[in-house]
Amino acid sequence: MTSQSQGIQQLLQAEKRAKDKLEEAKKRKGKRLKQAKEEAMAEIDHYRLQREKEFRNKQTNVMGSEGNLSAKIEEQTTEIVRNLTSSYHKNMESMMKKLLNTICDINPEVHPNFGHAV
C-alpha cells in the first residue's frame, strides 16, 4: 500500500510541477504579448511621426509656409492701398476740374434726331 501511496504522491507532485510550469508559461506568454504590443505601438508612433513630417515638408514645398504667405499678402495689400491713395491724391484735382467743367459748362445744341417741324 505504501508503494501505491508513494506512486500517487509522485503523480500528484508531477501534476503540481506541470501545473506550475503551465502557469509560468502563461505568465511569460502574457509578458511577451504585452511587450510585443508596446513594441508595435512604438513602431506605429514612429511611422506616424515620420509620415506627418513628410506631409508637412511636402505641404511647405507646395504651398509655402503660412507665415510667409500671410506676410506676402499683407505686403501686397499695403502696396496696393499705397498706390491707390497716391493715385487718388495725384489725380483728384484734375478730375474735380473735369467734372465741374462738364457739369457747369453747358453748350446748348439741337439733338441730331430732332426733326424740323415745317
Cell of 29: 506568454
Output the pTM of the full model: 0.43
Distance CA 101, CA 29 (A): 99
Query: Which one, of 89, 87, 91, lies nearest residue 99 by Cα?
Result: 91
Residue 42 CB coordination number (10 Å): 10
Q: How confident is the prediction along the chain (118 residues), in pLDDT tens digits per residue?
A: 677 888 889 999 999 999 999 999 999 999 999 999 999 999 999 999 999 999 988 887 777 666 677 788 899 999 999 999 999 999 999 999 999 998 888 888 888 888 765 4
Is the Cβ–Cβ distance between 8 and 2 less than 8 Å?
Answer: no
